[in-house]
Structure 1
Amino acid sequence: MSSPSSTADAILASARDLVVAGGYNGFSYADIAAVVGIRKASIHHHFPAKADLVEALVARYRAETRAALESLESQIAGPAELLGSYVSYWQACIARSDPPFCVCAQLASELPRLPEGVAREVRAHFRGLADWLSAVIARGGREGVLDAADPVAEGEIVMATVHGAMLSARAYGTPEVFGVITAPLLDRLSRRD
């Protein structure tokens, strides 16, 4: 499979920013054309329909997330540190507003109205993330560094807490809210009797 053209990359980058800012229905091809400096027909050449564009965007986002998690695992050995680094990544992003929000979290709020291909990619993102978090927590339990009676449930709780904290930080307009919400979760999981 060949790599996307620089025009396709620019279209996807613009779409990502627009989705994070306003969701699936918050932008049009005209918006992307204005940002990228191309005609709408050029966008249709690469992505015939908006659903094709956003599905490709989420597929790329999922691949980037998998690569980032693999990179994190190659750099950090301990499960408690992995979990902390994952949370710290989002805390830093929210503090500097780059990216201020997860693409899939934004789209998940619109799931009932999304085209099926986009919805399938969004669900797959969350399933993959929850599986990774659960595996990290299970490993932490085996190594005696994380308190995880039910790693699958805890993985879902971490994922929901992180994404909920993003939403709260956005709603309150205060990045610090993210840490206020996530710190007790990490403390609870790190506590060993």
Structure 2
Amino acid sequence: MPNPSTTSDDILHCARALIVEGGYNGFSYADIAKVVGIRNASIHHHFPGKSDLVRTLVASYREEAEHGLAALEQHVSDPVEQLRAYVGYWEACIGDGTAPFCVCALLASQLPQLPEEVAREVRAHFRALAAWLSSVLERGAKQGRVRLTATADVEAEIFLATVHGAMLSARAYGDAGMFGLVTRPMLERLAVPQ
């Protein structure tokens, strides 16, 4: 049985949705209070300032992503299938609207405007994700499953940029299908035919 949500969980969930919708500066505590059904003072009790809230949100998001990648590693051993599963996760989220954009990708586009403690968390998310992708690509190349045209580190950055760019294209065109249109050729380029 799942744990019941707490007020701080509800605040974080609401903030995440509002950030995906309008970015760091696109919401206020008043917006959260209205959605969650609490007073602004209650939000300040849990998160004294907006930077505290968003830093906690990004740290939680990073932890969630790390758990998801660890679970993927446990259940899928083939590197190409791991890459497909990662892309497939986002394709499903964008398609059904559950997570139409990566919170950290959106915040990364606003780095110059973010408080430093939030920016650090966003950068840490990208570093961790790039390291995981690099390890998958490197393992895939050693197994003869992945074709690299650059180092695994560079390919990981290309992969990240393609996935996040595909999210942007899907949003810009208002067409979830754009995500797959952009990411499929990348996966085909990387996968060695069996």
Normalising by the smaller structure, the TM-score range is over 0.9
Q: Residues 104 and 125 of structure 1 are in contact (CA less than 8 Å); yes or no, is this contact kept in structure 2?
A: yes
Match of 1:182 in 2: 183
Amino-acid identity (%): 61
Return the offset for 1:25. 0.1
Structure 1 residue 165 and structure 2 residue 130: aligned? no
Give the ranges of 4+ consecutive aligned residues of structure 1 lying more than 4 Å apart after TM superposition: none
How many angstroms apart in 2 are the aligned matches of 1:67 and 1:87? 16
Counterpart of 1:81? 81
Alignment of 1:141 with 2:150, yes or no, is no
Partner residue, 1:32 = 32
TM norm structure 1: 0.96
- TM-score, normalised via structure 2 length: 0.95
Gaps of at least 5 residues in structure 2 are none
Task: Please tell me whether the aligned partners of residues 144 and 192 of structure 2 are also in contact (alpha carbons under 8 angstroms).
Answer: no
Contact 1:62 1:125 in 2 (8 A): yes
Any residues of structure 2 matched to 1:111-126 within 5 Å, and which? 111-126=111-126
The alignment status of 1:156 with 2:153, answered yes or no, reads: no
Letter in 2 for 1:14: C
SS for the counterpart of 2:147 is: coil
Q: Deviations over 1:71-130 (max 9, x none)?
A: 011110100100010001101111111111100011111100100000000000011101
SS of equivalent to 2:171: helix
Give, in angstroms, the shift of residue 192 of structure 1.
5.7
The amino acid that maps onto 1:126 is F
Aligned positions, number: 190
> 1:185 Cα deviation (Å)?
0.3
Shift of residue 191 of structure 1? 3.2
Q: CA deviation at 1:150?
A: 1.2
**What is the one-letter code of the residue matched to 1:60?**
S
**1:147–1:192: 8 Å Cα contact kept in structure 2?**
no
Alignment RMSD: 1.4
Q: Distance in 2 between matches of 1:142 and 1:191?
A: 12
User: Match of 1:24, as an amino acid?
Assistant: Y
